[in-house]
């Protein structure tokens, strides 16, 4: 088998293929149908990038599946930002698809979503700038051969899109490494007396949220270098059910799990529970509720349903039922054992118990909560 054949086989067996591989057919069809102007080094025009994210049908009948369900204008502003010299900051509460959107934007714009810096409390400055091959450094001193470029540096040199995930988890002094890169489009290498200048096509997408613990606020100097786009929570229950159904189906296929019909009762129940507890009021607006300490995001709903589907596949008959998602919901809701458990019990007794058609769900949740 050739090297390219081995690489293709590895991609096909990947648990979670990169966006540019998972949706290669759609990207190829869009590129073939795209006759609009493209910024330099972009694989697609801004219109085609937005179509890739939001979905649509091409003139040849090719269906582009939606990658993001939300306001069209949000996507259009994000794509337009990348076509300028301003970096893009995707801001939102946990679970609003910031990482998902940033990956697909990079895949559609540059054909490569892997130029990634993952932000953590321990992310060093070298992860954003560059590091060194210490064997060569000790043997021959600083040189281009000893320098190990980071993802941002590679993106600058090749005119591609770099990504920085969880920017606000990175220490403030390391965050500010980006200021010169974003304002001057230059990365100095003082050890060599050189610099790397960004070529046309380079830009950067960062994601951040300000709700989790351990967040480091961005300096005003750095925030000014970004155009901030806020990704909202799904506007309606139907939108959230659609998002959860699509992602569970994609994840389930990669794990060889049974398919779940769109709009299945259990997905609707999980989404309803999460939205009501998150909003602090029942769907009909009649009963006010206490909200638990967790975020109860769409991403957590996807995790609960996927876990329930795995339970149904391996320890049931393959049909997703209330008992399969009950334990996952309990784990998502009860983060603080003292306060959250009381909130959950009150919700079960005052809302779920009295809801028509939810008796099986109530019993399943009572069993795992006991």
Q: How far is CA 35 from the centre of its chain?
A: 29
The neighbouring-strand residues paired with 117 are: 164
Q: How far is CA 58 from the centre of its chain?
A: 26
- Of 271, 277, 265, 241, the residue nearest 322 (C-alpha): 265
Contacts of 252 (CB under 8 A, 6+ apart): 258, 259, 260, 306, 309
Distances from the Cα of 52 to the Cα of 42, 155, 210, 341, angstroms: 14, 22, 28, 42
Instruction: Give the Cα separation of 212 and 169 in Å (integer).
Output: 9
Distances from the Cα of 107 to the Cα of 23, 36, 66, 163, 173, angstroms: 9, 18, 14, 11, 29
Instruction: Give the Cα separation of 206 and 170 in Å (integer).
Output: 12
Distances from the Cα of 338 to the Cα of 141, 145, 163, 347, angstroms: 58, 57, 39, 15
Residue 5: what pLDDT?
Answer: 57
Instruction: Give the Cα separation of 300 and 294 in Å (integer).
Output: 10
* The pairing of beta strand 63-64 with beta strand 194-197: unpaired
Six-digit token pair at 92? 């939102």
pLDDT tens per residue across all 370 residues of the chain:
555 555 555 566 788 899 999 999 999 999 999 999 999 999 999 999 999 999 999 999 999 999 999 999 999 999 999 999 899 999 998 889 999 999 999 999 999 999 999 999 999 999 999 999 999 999 999 999 999 999 999 999 999 999 999 999 999 999 999 999 999 999 999 999 999 999 999 999 999 987 766 678 899 999 999 999 999 989 999 999 999 999 999 899 888 888 887 558 899 999 999 999 999 999 999 999 999 998 899 999 999 999 999 999 999 999 999 999 999 999 999 999 999 999 999 999 999 999 999 999 999 999 998 7
Instruction: Give the Cα separation of 337 and 343 in Å (integer).
Output: 10
DSSP string, 191-232: TTTEEEEPPTT-EEEEEE-SSSSS--PPPHHHHTTEEEEEPP
Six-digit token pair at 237? 């229950």
Instruction: Give the Cα separation of 45 and 24 in Å (integer).
Output: 16
């Amino acid at each position: 088998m050739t090297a390219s054949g081995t690489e293709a086989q590895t991609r096909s067996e990947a648990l979670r293929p990169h966006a540019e591989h998972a949706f290669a057919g759609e990207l190829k069809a869009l590129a073939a149908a795209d006759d609009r102007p493209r910024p330099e080094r972009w694989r697609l025009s801004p219109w085609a990038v937005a179509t890739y994210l939001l979905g649509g049908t091409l003139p040849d009948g090719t269906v582009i599946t939606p990658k993001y369900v939300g306001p069209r204008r949000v996507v259009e502003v994000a794509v337009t930002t990348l076509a300028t010299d301003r970096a893009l900051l995707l801001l939102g509460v946990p679970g609003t698809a910031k990482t998902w959107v940033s990956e697909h934007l990079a895949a559609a714009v540059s054909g490569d979503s892997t130029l990634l810096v993952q932000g953590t409390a321990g992310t060093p400055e070298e992860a954003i700038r560059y590091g060194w091959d210490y064997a060569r450094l000790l043997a021959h001193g600083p040189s281009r051969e000893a320098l190990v470029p980071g993802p941002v540096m590679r993106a600058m040199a090749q005119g591609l899109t770099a990504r920085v995930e969880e920017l606000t988890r990175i220490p403030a002094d390391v965050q500010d490494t980006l200021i010169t890169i974003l304002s001057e489009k230059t990365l100095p290498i003082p050890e060599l007396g050189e610099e790397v200048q960004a070529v046309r096509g380079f830009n950067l997408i960062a994601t951040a949220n300000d709700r989790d613990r351990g967040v480091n606020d961005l300096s005003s100097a750095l925030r000014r270098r970004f155009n901030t786009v806020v990704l909202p929570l799904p506007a309606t229950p139907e939108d959230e059910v659609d998002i959860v159904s699509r992602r569970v189906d994609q994840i389930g296929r990669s794990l060889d799990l049974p398919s779940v019909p769109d709009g299945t009762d259990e997905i609707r129940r999980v989404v309803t529970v999460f939205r009501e507890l998150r909003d602090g009021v029942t769907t009909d607006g009649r009963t006010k509720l206490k909200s638990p300490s967790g975020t109860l995001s769409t991403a957590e709903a996807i995790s609960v349903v996927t876990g329930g589907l795995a339970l149904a596949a391996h320890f049931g008959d393959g049909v997703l039922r209330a008992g399969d998602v009950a334990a996952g919901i309990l784990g998502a809701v009860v983060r603080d054992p003292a306060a959250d458990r009381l909130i959950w019990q009150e919700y079960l007794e005052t809302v779920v118990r009295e809801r028509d058609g939810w008796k099986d769900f109530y019993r399943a949740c009572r069993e795992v909560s006991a």
